Amino acid sequence: MYSVLNIIETALREDLGPGDITTNNLVPLDTEGKGIIIAREPLVIAGLDVAKQVFESLDPKVIIKPAYKDGDSIEGGEVVLEIEGRLHALLAGERTGLNFLQHLSGIATHVRSYADMLGDKNVQIVDTRKTTPGWLILEKYAVRVGGAYNHRMGLYDGVVIKANHIAVCGGVKNSIERIRNNVSHLVKIEVEVSDIDDVKEAIDAGADVIMLDCMTIDQIKEAVAFVDGRAVIEVAGKISKSDLIPLADTGVDIISIGALTHQATCVDMTMQINLMFDV
pLDDT value of position 275? 72
Given a cut of 90, whether residue 153 has pLDDT beyond it is yes
Question: Which positions are catalytic?
Answer: 95, 130, 162, 192, 213
Rounded to whole angstroms, the maximal C-alpha distance in the chain is 76
Average pLDDT over residues 247-256: 98
Residue 9's identity, in one-letter code, is E
As a whole number of angstroms, the distance between CA 64 and CA 67 comes to: 10
Does this model's pTM top 0.85? yes
Looking at residue 279, what is its pLDDT? 46
Helices (H), 48-86: 48-58
Per-residue pLDDT band at 2 (split at 50, 70, 90): low
Per residue in 56-86, pLDDT tens? Answer: 999 999 999 999 999 999 999 999 999 999 9
How large is the average pLDDT for residues 201-218? Answer: 97
* φ, ψ at 207 (rounded to 5°): -60, 140
> Taking Cα atoms as reference points, which of 173, 172, 100 lies closest to residue 139?
100
Whole-angstrom Cα distance, residue 43 to residue 1?
30
Residue 172, helix vs strand vs coil: helix
Domains by residue range for the chain, with CATH: 4-115+265-275 (3.90.1170.20), 119-262 (3.20.20.70)
Interatomic CA distance for residues 14 and 93, integer angstroms: 12
Average pLDDT in the chain: 96
